[in-house]
Amino acid sequence: MGFIVIIPARLASTRLPNKPLADLGGKPMVVRVAERARESGAARIIVATDHPDIAAACAAHGIEACMTRADHASGTDRIAEVARALGLAPDAVVVNLQGDEPLIDPALLAACAARIGPEVPMATCAHPLADAHDAFNPNVVKVVLDKAGRALYFSRATIPWHRDGFAADRATLPPGYVPLRHIGLYAYSNAFLQAYPQLETSPLETIEALEQLRVLWHGVPIAVHVTDAAPHAGVDTPDDLARVRLFYQS
C-alpha cells in the first residue's frame, strides 16, 4: 500500500514571517517541500493550510492543497482534519512532513512510512550522534530504542547516560557509545492519526515539552527508523533561510 504525505503550513511564524512563501530559487518554500515529497514515491502529496495565499501558491505550481480550520493547536491536528476530509481508510499511512523542510531526503519519508504496521501505528526517525556537545544540548532531542527498534523514551537529557564514561570525561563521547538524535518526521496509520488529538496530555510531555511522549505514556508503540546520516536542518530563522537559498542557487 502506498502512503500519503500531508504538509501542514501556516503563514504565521514568530521568528520568520510568511515562511511557507519564502522564495527558494524562484519557488515558494512550501512548493519546494512538496517537490521533495514527490520524489519519495508517495501516492499523493497535499499541503494542509489555513491561508488562501498558501493554497494559491500551491495551485500555481500544480501542488494539491486543502484548506483547514485556523484554530488547530498543532500540525498533527491540521493533517488529521485533512485525512478525515479525504475519507482515508483506517489503515492508510499518512506521513507528516513539516513545511519548513525543503532539503528533506525523500528516501527518509518512504522509510518512515514503511515502519507502520498492524501493531505499530506511529513511526519516526533518528540518526547517530558523534559529538558530545550535541549529546548534552537540551535542544537536541535524544531517543533510546528497544531491541525491536521501537522508542523506549525521548528526552532533552543525555540518554542513555553513560555512567562510567561520563564520570571520567564529558568532553568526548565514550568509545562505543552512540546516542541517537530524534528527527521530527512522523508517519501514522490514519486510524491512530484520528485518535491522537483526543489523547489526554501526559505529565511527561509537559515536563520535557515533547509531544511524542504522550503516545508512549498511553502505551502506544512508536517505531524508529535509524538513518546513518544527519538530515539537513529545517528553516526556523533568517540564517537558516539564507543557508537554504544558497543550496537552490548552486
Summarize pLDDT for 70-96 with one digit per residue, the tens.
877 777 888 999 999 999 999 999 999
pTM: 0.93
Q: Distance (Å, rounded) from C-alpha 95 to C-alpha 3?
A: 7
**Which domains, from first to last, does the chain contain?**
1-104 (3.90.550.10), 105-231 (3.90.550.10)
Q: Which amino acid is at 98?
A: Q
Give the model confidence (pLDDT) of 216-248 as tens digits. Answer: 999 999 999 999 988 888 898 899 999 999 999
Strand 122-128 and strand 142-145: pairing? unpaired
Average confidence (pLDDT) over 122-148: 97
Burial of 9 (0-12, 13-18, 19+ CB in 10 A): buried
End-to-end Cα distance, the chain: 36
For residue 1, the model assigns a pLDDT of 56
